Amino acid sequence: MRYRILSGQIAGIWLFALAAIGTHAGAETINVAVASNFAATMHVVKQRFEAEQDHQINIIAGSSGKHFAQIINGAPFDLFLSADSERPRQLEIRGHVAIGRRHVYAIGQLILWSRRPDPPLTETSLLQHERNGLRRLALANPNLAPYGRAAVEVMTKLGVYEQLRAKLVMGENVSQAFQFTYTGNAEFGFVALSQALALGQSDSGWHIPLDYYQPISQEMVLLSNRAGARALFAFLQSAAMAPILLEYGYVPPQI
């Protein structure tokens, strides 16, 4: 009888160990291509996700255009978090993404920003740009980047676009526009709020009202059917994302 009890206990221990091994064996490393403006936020998502899941996230940050080209050419990404909605839509049209595997994960916010802490920029900073010593104004290329298109919409709404065209310095994407402004190559820059928040310098910028430009819908696409990728795709659509997005300068899609 004593032997049988011990045997049952040992069997139970082995079953527990095998279950644990099986769980660990199912863990995956997910390759996630992330738009550069969302990279800092994605590192926070990585910490939260990996605290709850066995899966690990490998973040590959870069411009959405380059990621798009890499996916077209067969790059082994499991998810793609774009800075826009057009590239994910094109991937769906071209058959790289199954129907239902494309979703808005964040709404970007635009800020007119300067490294000068005082005085803080306001709408008047553009309306009276000559008085404010504006010689160069950075923005992302509006033909390539949604943040750039939004910047043009803001200037057009304020009636200053034609006056400012000669002063515009265009980057390939919003990250490059931010670099122009950060290094002083441009006095002001239209950048992502998330970038200014990452430096702790959002107070020196003008937080542009959301109704001054069309929503900057950032979409993601699920590129593989791996369990870890599906889990992250679901996490990025969950209620757990709302406080992260708000803290790092984005609007949750459901708001």
**Is 83 part of a structural domain of the chain?**
yes
C-alpha 38/C-alpha 194 separation (Å) is 8
pLDDT tens-digit readout, 77-130: 999 999 999 999 999 999 999 888 999 999 999 999 998 767 788 898 888 877
pLDDT at 210: 95
37-41, 54-58, 207-211 — which is least confidently predicted? 37-41
At 255, the pLDDT band (50, 70, 90 cuts) reads low
Q: Across residues 220-242, what is the average pLDDT? A: 96
Residue with tokens 């994960």: 105
pLDDT at 117: 64
Considering the domain architecture, whether residues 117 and 98 belong to the same structural domain is answered as no
Considering the domain architecture, whether residues 139 and 174 belong to the same structural domain is answered as yes
Q: Across residues 31-59, what is the average pLDDT? A: 95
Considering the domain architecture, whether residues 98 and 116 belong to the same structural domain is answered as no
Residue 183 domain boundaries: 110-207
Closest C-alpha to 102, from 217, 220, 215 = 220
pLDDT at 120: 81
Closest C-alpha to 253, from 207, 216, 198, 222 = 216
Closest C-alpha to 107, from 192, 7, 231 = 192
C-alpha 191/C-alpha 183 separation (Å) is 14
Name the percent of the chain lying above pLDDT 90.
Answer: 69
At 38, the pLDDT band (50, 70, 90 cuts) reads very high
What's the whole-number average pLDDT of the chain?
87
Considering the domain architecture, whether residues 122 and 159 belong to the same structural domain is answered as yes
Choice between 136 and 6, residue whose per-residue pLDDT is larger = 136
Considering the domain architecture, whether residues 99 and 222 belong to the same structural domain is answered as yes
C-alpha 8/C-alpha 6 separation (Å) is 5
pLDDT at 251: 96
Distances (CA, A) of 194 to 12, 39, 201: 51, 10, 10
Residues 207 and 111 sit within 8 Å (Cβ to Cβ): yes
The pLDDT of residue 6 is above 70:
no
pLDDT at 169: 96
**Is 13 part of a structural domain of the chain?**
no
The CATH number linked to 196 is 3.40.190.10
Counted domains in the chain:
2
C-alpha 120/C-alpha 64 separation (Å) is 31
Name the percent of the chain lying above pLDDT 70.
Answer: 89
